[in-house]
Amino acid sequence: MTDAPRARTTVGDTADHGLEQFGYKQELSRGLSTTDLVVYGLVFMVPIAPWAIYGTVYNEANGMVPLVYLIGLVAMVFTASSYAQMSRAFPIAGSVYSYVGRGIHPQLGFLAGWTILLDYLLVPTLLYVFAAESMVGIFPGVPRWVWVVVFLAANTAVNYIGISFTALVNRLFLVAEVLFIVIFVVMAVVAVAKGTSGAEFTTKPLFDSATFSPGLVATALSIAVLSFLGFDGIATLSEETKGGRGSAGFAMITGLVIVAFFFVTQTWLAGMLVPTTTQFEGDSANNAFFDIVQKVSNHGWQIAFFAMNALAVGIANAVAAQSATSRLLFSMARDGRLPRFLAHISPRKVPERAILLVAGLTLVLGLVFVGQIGTISSLVNFGALTSFLLLHVSVVVYFGVRRGSRNVLLHYVFPVIGFLIIGYVLWNAEAAAKIGGIIWLVVGVVVMLYYRWRGTDILPEHAFDADATEATR
């Protein structure tokens, strides 16, 4: 890696975003518009995500599912703000690995990257397991592992072809998901208007004073924050966007608001269709939303919604997850913090070896963890939340301490509030998640010490002290 001269860039610069000032050259293809980033974020968060967990969240929130998502939006806006600030200062791949490493210290950056790597490596596995469960509901005779292999093969091919094709697939699936949301909205509105099976207009799903309590807010916060995980994947594509320094941050916040609107709309209407239900009992909680669809339509539509859920999670969401994971591996390998062969770029300008490694690991993990959704989810949550904590600290340290920023709201207040919210959720995480996450963190420390012992000290010192240009002021 050469000690390249540092160049000034502007917000409108779409050629290289000043990558040379960070010690890099442009290798990945800049083919993504800001709209593509928003679409990518929406697909990663899955606009129809409430379908699969509606019954569980309903039981935990005493029916106030849309309130849960509103709380989640408010909570995650603070984290999205911190991402936006750091992605503008450092428009490079690597997400929190790059932001914490350059904002605080390279070694902390490695640990941030290592913790979120736990999230990114396991998210594709979790998605395939989810998708396999939905497909079993349609084709009960086909083993779950078969669906894991089928979805994985399709998604790896999409990512391997290139980022432009991945963006096209994302757009197609987003259109399909929105279409199904519209279909459900029409179904629900007609059912409420006709009073089908007791459906009626009510605001209780948004707020019910009879069952609301501070404890409910705490429970809802834990569920809601985790429901929005995935928006941060946008940051991994910073070197593949042509929309300027602020495009990644804008896409994150825009995506959060849009997907929250989808979540609230669907779950509020679903609540109107079961106004007298207090709890979904037993196994009915797992398929509560799909049973509601059947209740106001027919079995054929229920199967169609099952299929859309499986395809959205197993292909669209998983494509986005594998793409983000491969970019994180590429960024860490490029800096010498993981084996350098993972930094190889193919003629299609994609990190092909990282993509193939993610596919191989996902295949193994998918076959091992089929049917163990709870275990995977707990580990995913630890990785993401721990890295978010370090992200908030990096904003205060970089902008507040090192650059003396006077923007009290964005560089002090927001990251502190975000840190407290994420810290609360992490503190109340399951014991298994904490134990597994700490073990993963210890392994990361060992890997970090190994690379230090070998004398692989990531980047030249100037790269971490690089002036983030006038665009960050």
Mean pLDDT across the chain, nearest whole number? 81
Task: Find how far residue 268's CA is from the centre of its chain.
Answer: 23
Of 42-51, 313-322, 386-395, which range is least confident?
A: 313-322
Instruction: Pick the closest to residue 283 from 127, 137, 132, 125 (CA basis).
Output: 137
User: Which tens digits make up the pLDDT trace of 203-217?
Assistant: 999 988 888 877 776
- Residue 229 has a pLDDT of 73
Does 422 or 229 have the greater pLDDT score? 422
- Highest mean pLDDT of the ranges 59-73, 327-341, 399-413: 399-413
Distance CA 418, CA 394 (A): 12
- Residue 23 has a pLDDT of 58
Distance CA 343, CA 357 (A): 12
- Residue 226 has a pLDDT of 66
- Residue 362 has a pLDDT of 83
- Residue 448 has a pLDDT of 84
User: Which tens digits make up the pLDDT trace of 113-161?
Assistant: 888 888 778 877 877 877 777 787 778 888 888 888 888 888 888 877 8
Whether 7 shows a pLDDT value over 60: the answer reads: no
pLDDT band of 372, cuts 50, 70, 90: low
- Residue 72 has a pLDDT of 85
Whether 50 shows a pLDDT value over 60: the answer reads: yes
User: Which tens digits make up the pLDDT trace of 180-210?
Assistant: 999 999 999 999 999 988 899 999 999 888 8
Domains of the chain and CATH, by start: 29-462 (1.20.1740.10)
Whether 219 shows a pLDDT value over 80: the answer reads: no
Whether 80 shows a pLDDT value over 70: the answer reads: yes
Average pLDDT on 268-291 reads 87
Q: Which residues of 193-212 are buried (b: 16+ CB within 10 A; e: fewer)?
A: eeebeebeeeebbeebeeee
Phi and psi, residue 460, nearest 5°: -60, 150
Phi and psi, residue 241, nearest 5°: -105, 150
Q: What is the DSSP letter of 32?
A: B
Distance CA 152, CA 124 (A): 9
Does 453 or 28 have the greater pLDDT score? 453
pLDDT band of 92, cuts 50, 70, 90: confident
Query: 11: which residues sit within 8 A by CB, 6+ positions away?
Result: 244, 245, 246, 471
